[in-house]
Amino acid sequence: MTATATAPAATLDRWEMVVGLEVHVQLKTRTKIFCSCSADFGAAPNANTCPVCLALPGALPMLNERAVGLASRAALALNCVVQPVSIFARKNYFYPDLPKGYQISQFDKPLALDGWIEIGTRAVGAPIRIGITRVHMEEDAGKSIHDRFTGVTAIDLNRSGVPLIEIVSEPDIRSAEQAGAYLRVLKQILEYVDVSDVNMEEGSLRVDANVSARRRGETKLGTKTEVKNMNSFSGVERALEVEFARHVRVLEAGGSIEQQTMLWDGSAVRPARSKEGSHDYRYFPEPDLPPLILSPEWIEQVRKDLPELPAARRARFSTDYELGEYDVEVLTADPQLADYYESVARAHGEPKAAANWVMGEVMATLKTSGEDIARFRVRPADLASLLNLVRDGVVSHTAAKQIFGHMVATGDPPAQIAEREGLVKVDDDSQLSAWLDEVIAENPSEAERYRNGEKKLQGVLIGAVMKKSKGRADPRKLNQLLTARFAS
């Protein structure tokens, strides 16, 4: 059974979508959560393994403190209450890439509870707040590889024991669009606090969605299904639309929804083969790990160490730099871009000019090259120097763009490039007059018409001088000379 067709819009309008998201995020630690193996991707299969993550007889887990720090940092950034005592638990099930036959996770006493994030503003003004039920720590499983060798499945346990947090939202999401917004805001916050690479394509962020439908006005939740296997945020949005439409179709026809796991294949959802919903994981407290006890002082220190979060940064950009809403959104989207912008704005002193340059030339260049801003050749101090040259009238705006191109290519300081490439602005009267003489001589009829009062031809004459000077002529001075020439 698949579901691709959507119900008529009028029918859909009678129903409300209710969604809760479970997001797994891989923490950026050097080593795994319960052993000292490298957590890096890309090693040869099973190279990053040891007795602990291979589940050899007699091996025991040791908790990675760095993982606890990152998980707590994430939880606090999501406005959760980090619990003074949390308990690891075993989630028991058999699968070849789960070497112990259980996953060490947290169950009834998770690391953190009761958080929220805001995903934008309603038409009438109140912010849309999505509750976060819990954040808990767990280990990743290995990887089953079905397509590498014919007839057999291969197991790669490099990922076994890589630290994860699971972020569970309340069923507060009411549309696919909100689900997308939630994921984008969540990703941005996690990037800001630097706990994860949050890359869905590389698997460092995975999303499962619980979706149900209810008649508008109804307060009780309908029966939910869990949708898995989405590999992009837009995939999540489309999968939710499709699954919601399926619920509505079934319910409108008087049927009922079966609680089950559905898999998204990029265009349709189909029920998962095994009835995963009926699994009994037989959770019980992990006897190999003592309760995780975090002192209030420790938790407070993690809170103090939190960097500025996106919302605070947006507010500050808007007041400190007097930037418009659009500029703020663009410049704070990524913490490294925001850092870059701030360095330029501070060094240069004119935030709006800095914003125009960063959002214009810088972002266009990065987009073309696909480069990361952290490794961008033009450092903020150099860009600020260039902007200073423009402000101080040393180079024209046009010349500045050419200089920027050379900076991207060579990494040289802008003053040096301006000098070398002859792009320093010319405001010397005799040179400007000489160019003006040549232009008048070359365009006698335009000059005559201008003299007779056709003022719109000023642009043509000035343009011709600019062209002759290769953009170096100071337009302000040139205008004065031209006006003076024909006033006499």
Partner 1 sequence: MTARSCAVVCEETAAGRVTAADTVNEAVGRAREVGAGRDGLNAFVWRDDADALSQAASLTDRLSDTKPGAMLGVPVAIKDNIATLTLPTTCGSRILEGYVSPYEATVVKKLRAAGAIPFGKTNMDEFAMGSSTEHSAYGPTKNPIAPDRVPGGSSGGSAVAVASGVVSIALGSETGGSVRQPAAFCGIVGVKPTYGRVSRFGLVAFASSLDQVGVFGATVDDAARGLGVIAGHDPMDSTSASIAVPDYTAGANVGLKGLVVGLPKEYFPASLDPEIRRRCDAAVDRLRALGATVKEVSLPHTDLAIPVYYIVAPAEASSNLARFDGVRYGFRLEGEGLRGMYEATRSTGFGPEVTRRILLGTYVLSAGYYDAYYRKAQQVRTLIADDFRRVFQSGVHVLFTPTTPTPAFPIGAISDPYEMYLSDIFTATANLAGVPAMSQPIGRIGGLPVGGQFLASHFDEARMFTAAYALERALGAEALA
Q: Which of residues 101-130 bind partner 1 (CB under 8 A)?
A: 101-102
Query: Of 93 and 298, which CB lies nearer to partner 1 in the complex structure?
Result: 93
Query: Of 218 and 276, which CB lies nearer to partner 1 in the complex structure?
Result: 276
Question: What is the DSSP secondary structure assignment for residue 278, as one 8-state letter?
Answer: G
8 A C-beta contact, residue 344 and residue 387: yes
Query: Of 52 and 269, which CB lies nearer to partner 1 in the complex structure?
Result: 52
8 A C-beta contact, residue 142 and residue 98: yes
Is 347 an interacting residue with respect to partner 1 (CB under 8 A)?
no
Query: Of 55 and 128, which CB lies nearer to partner 1 in the complex structure?
Result: 55
Q: How many CB atoms lie within 10 A of CB 144?
A: 13
Query: Of 282 and 303, which CB lies nearer to partner 1 in the complex structure?
Result: 282
Query: Of 99 and 222, which CB lies nearer to partner 1 in the complex structure?
Result: 99
Among 1, 65, 85, 94, binds partner 1 (CB under 8 A): 94
Q: Using CA atoms of 296, 301, 303, 306 in order, give the dihedral in degrees to the nearest 10.
A: -160
Q: Could you tell me the smallest distance in angstroms from the CB atom of residue 97 to partner 1?
A: 9
Q: Could you tell me the smallest distance in angstroms from the CB atom of residue 111 to partner 1?
A: 17
Q: Which of residues 11-70 bind partner 1 (CB under 8 A)?
A: 51, 54-63
Among 6, 11, 79, 92, binds partner 1 (CB under 8 A): 92
For 307, the 3-state DSSP assignment is coil
Query: Of 61 and 161, which CB lies nearer to partner 1 in the complex structure?
Result: 61
8 A C-beta contact, residue 87 and residue 151: no
Q: Could you tell me the smallest distance in angstroms from the CB atom of residue 80 to partner 1?
A: 25
Question: Rounded CA gap, 250 and 267, in Å?
Answer: 19
Q: Binding marks (x or -) toward partner 1, 253..282, rule CB under 8 A? A: ---------------------------x-x
Question: Rounded CA gap, 23 and 341, in Å?
Answer: 30
8 A C-beta contact, residue 293 and residue 111: no
Among 289, 333, 359, 460, binds partner 1 (CB under 8 A): 289
Among 155, 257, 415, 481, binds partner 1 (CB under 8 A): 155
Residues 6+ apart with CB under 8 A from 56: none
Query: Of 98 and 355, which CB lies nearer to partner 1 in the complex structure?
Result: 98
Query: Of 202 and 288, which CB lies nearer to partner 1 in the complex structure?
Result: 288
Own/partner pairs, 53-56, CB within 8 angstroms, 24+ separation: 53/99, 53/157, 53/160, 53/161, 54/99, 54/157, 54/160, 55/99, 55/100, 55/101
φ and ψ at residue 271, rounded to 5 degrees:
-65, 140
Stretch that binds partner 1, among 92-100, 183-191, 355-363, 413-421 (CB under 8 A): 92-100
8 A C-beta contact, residue 153 and residue 145: yes
Question: Rounded CA gap, 287 and 267, in Å?
Answer: 44
Q: Could you tell me the smallest distance in angstroms from the CB atom of residue 355 to partner 1?
A: 51
Q: How many CB atoms lie within 10 A of CB 400?
A: 22
Among 40, 202, 288, 320, binds partner 1 (CB under 8 A): 288
**Residues of this chain that bind partner 1 (CB under 8 A):** 51, 54-63, 90, 92, 94, 96, 99-102, 155, 280, 282-284, 287-290
